[in-house]
Amino acid sequence: MSHQVVQTIEKAVIPILQSEQLHLVDVTYEKEGQNWFLRVFIERTEGSVDLDDCTRVSEKLSAYLDEQDPIQGAYILEVSSAGAERPLKNLADFQNAIGKNVYVTTNEPIDEVKAFEGILTAISGDMLLIEVTYKPGKKRSFEVPFSKIAKARLAIVF
């Protein structure tokens, strides 16, 4: 059911975001404790998302949800910026992340490794090339196929 909810909300929220010059990053529908949460993560191509952006999108989406009622039962709607460690979901996200630090986990090991944190240096065909520093001055590049990615996000380095 949650997959259907996510697809329904994605279709509904995209026109709302376009009217605000915003973009959809992700939609999640998850149960935490006793409550269901519908979370919509947004971004702006240029500049950052502010509280007013989130409020406008939340109000418009809430009006749609009240009118269409596509979700059975109670839930909490949250609209927020995707943040500095935003998820990477599609090819365009990964292309925009070239040269940046990423954290990628895979469904199965690649050279006995399932978690990669490093710089996304290139995309070639269906492969990501991630340069991982495993000791000071020691780097290794890994080729990670898109088909093996479980989750991916930008990573902040402190």
Residue 97 pLDDT exceeds 70: yes
Q: Which of the two residues, 120 and 73, has the higher pLDDT score?
A: 120
Question: What value does the mean pLDDT take over residues 115-133?
Answer: 94
Predicted local confidence at residue 89, as pLDDT: 87
Give the pLDDT band (50/70/90) at residue 19. Answer: very high
Residue 2 pLDDT exceeds 80: no
Residues whose CB is less than 8 angstroms from the CB of residue 103 and which lie 6 or more positions away in sequence, other chains included: 85, 115, 116, 117, 152, 153, 154, 155
Q: List, as one string, the DSSP characters of 21-90.
A: T-EEEEEEEEEETTEEEEEEEEE-SSS---HHHHHHHHHHHHHHHHHH--S-S--EEEEEE--TT-B--S
- In the numeric block, which tokens belong to residue 90? 């599609």
Mean per-residue pLDDT over the chain, rounded: 92
Q: Are 30 and 41 in contact (CB under 8 A)?
A: no
Residue 44 pLDDT exceeds 80: yes
Question: What value does the mean pLDDT take over residues 74-84?
Answer: 93
Residue 45 pLDDT exceeds 90: no
| Percent over 90 (pLDDT), the chain | 75
Which amino acid, 12?
A
- In the numeric block, which tokens belong to residue 114? 């399932």
Give the pLDDT band (50/70/90) at residue 5. Answer: confident
- Give the SS3 label for residue 97: coil
Residue 126 pLDDT exceeds 70: yes
Residue 1 pLDDT exceeds 70: no
Q: Show the domains of the chain with their CATH numbers.
A: 2-81 (3.30.300.70), 91-154 (2.30.30.180)
Predicted local confidence at residue 147, as pLDDT: 94
